[in-house]
Amino acid sequence: MKESVPYPSIDTPSILLNLNQWETNIQEMTHLAREAGVRLRPHIKMHECGMLAKMQIQAGACGIEVGNVAQAELMASEGINDIVVAHPFYGARKFEAFQRLLSKPGLKLGVVVDMFEQAEELSKIGQFVGKKIPVLIKLDTGVNRYGVLPGISLLDLARQVQRLPGIEIAGIYAHESGAVPTDEGVAKAALETGSIMAEMARMLRAQGIAVPEVTVGASPTFRGTCRYIREGLLKEITEIHPGACAVGDLMYVKSHGNTRAACALTVLTTVVSTSHPGHVIIDAGYKTFGKDSLIEWRDNPGFFWNGYPSFGSVQGRPDLWLGKLGAESGWLFYKEPDSKRLYLGDRLEIVPNNATLVMNIHDKIYGVREGAIEKEIPVTGRGRGS
């Protein structure tokens, strides 16, 4: 065994969060939102950690977004009192859970819908508990996932929702993922989505439908959105909701949501076999990393090396290629004949392709600073993906 290894108290493989970089990332989000004069409501789908969500609120966020009702329950139990459920939902058990949440004192709880049937069920709940539930109508601005189409479809839905008792239209909502991954493409997507949302807010208001909130802003686009708001082009926008760029991963590096240097999360692994000349084996496989190869990027130059995709990027070692994963093992290949050889017991930090997946399959994260463990962070929402 090696006499000295980093983080000797950690049994590998484990998840590390560089707290200095994490704090820098959330401060950037807060600063840009403040400069633009809009509220910041980060989507916490990547980390699902109550402790990290509280740090974001302490840094200046107005509240948080979650993906589903189960996550909202957990965050409310952590003492977070301003939550929006960002994905439309349907089903008796989910509505029952939402109704329970509404009874929590001091909790401000909003919900996103894109169909009348969803709003109708929420209306019944609002009437039953005697509260007006704030509802945001989600627009499809080109993602082709959730959302009602802009224009007459939005207007028709808003008119139907407006007539329902027990709920109130709090605003309109968009999530503009899928931008062309260049600086120009991301900026274009930010302006196009923001312009559509501004136009739709004006249209609804002209028809007598109040739209207090206009919220946009994915990880790749929020910087451009804030810039356009400062320039006076998107003055209708009131709130932004970027999420994943607070942590960062290689998927968002490709999408221009964060830089490689801004990735705050790594997987700590150990070399457990050097028996082959062309590769070593580490003690982390798809039970640690998941198995997202980012195959949708396969047509990009450099996606494959010797026929292998990559499952992560080794800190400080661009000459190593994490090209294959078993359940509990990973193959790290030497890309160059003269690559510096690794030794049994060497420890490596690897930025994963998909940090959302990695965090959701672990119970805790180690918050580290200057090479020392500062805190253990429970993954509050682990297993609450539906």
Residues 301-335: tens digit of each pLDDT: 999 999 999 999 999 999 999 999 999 999 999 99
Q: For the chain, how many structural domains are there in total?
A: 2
Domain boundary pick from 212, 246, 280: 246
In a domain, 9, yes or no: no
Which domain does 232 fall in, by range? 19-246
Tell me: do 91 and 234 sit in the same domain.
yes
Tell me: do 46 and 102 sit in the same domain.
yes
Quickly state the pLDDT bin for 181 (edges 50, 70, 90).
confident
Name the residue with tokens 């600086």. Answer: 183
Contact 271, 341 (CB under 8 A): no
Tell me: do 178 and 231 sit in the same domain.
yes
Residues 40-99: tens digit of each pLDDT: 999 998 899 999 999 999 999 999 999 999 999 999 999 999 999 999 999 999 999 999
Nearest to 11 by CA among 315, 273, 354, 364: 364
Tell me: do 107 and 237 sit in the same domain.
yes
Tell me: do 28 and 139 sit in the same domain.
yes
Quickly state the pLDDT bin for 1 (edges 50, 70, 90).
very low
Tell me: do 234 and 349 sit in the same domain.
no
Q: H or E segment at 161? A: helix 152-162
Task: Report the alpha-carbon distance of residue 178 to residue 159 in Å, rounded.
Answer: 29
Tell me: do 318 and 224 sit in the same domain.
no
Contact 236, 199 (CB under 8 A): no
345 Rama class: left (phi>0) / alpha (psi -120 to 50) / beta: left
Those residues whose C-beta lies under 8 Å from the C-beta of residue 18, and which sit 6 or more positions away, are: 264, 265, 266, 368, 369
What is the pTM for the complete model shown? 0.94
Output the domain CATH number for residue 238. 3.20.20.10
Tell me: do 272 and 222 sit in the same domain.
no
CA distances from 145 to 135, 138, 175, 356 (A): 19, 10, 10, 19
Tell me: do 189 and 277 sit in the same domain.
no
Output the domain CATH number for residue 319. 2.40.37.20
DSSP letter at 296 equals G
Task: Report the alpha-carbon distance of residue 179 to residue 46 in Å, rounded.
Answer: 19
